[in-house]
Amino acid sequence: MCRVTLRLSGSQLECDEAHPSLLIALESHKVAVEYQCREGYCGSCRTRLVTGQVTWLTEPLAFIQPGEILPCCCKAQGDIEIEM
């Protein structure tokens, strides 16, 4: 189990193995995340990873800058903080 901190609101959420992706973990806690494809193609869910690390489930196809992640195609690897 890991903790996801949302920097803008200060909220802290728990995610575990039952959540196949960070996007699904966020949605399970009623966090509104903009998305379209859920597979790393569109980049709509792009956010900045402030601290921590993620594990990519699939290589994102949308262009992302260093320090950005796509919650639809990654999982938290331990506790993380994201710009949301």
Per-residue pLDDT of the chain (84 residues; tens, 9 = 90+): 999 999 999 999 999 989 999 999 999 999 999 999 999 999 999 999 999 999 999 999 999 999 999 999 999 999 999 999
Do the Cβ atoms of 12 and 5 come closer than 8 Å? yes
Residue-level pLDDT at 27: 97
Beta strands 74-82 and 2-6 are parallel
Residue-level pLDDT at 14: 95
Residue-level pLDDT at 38: 94
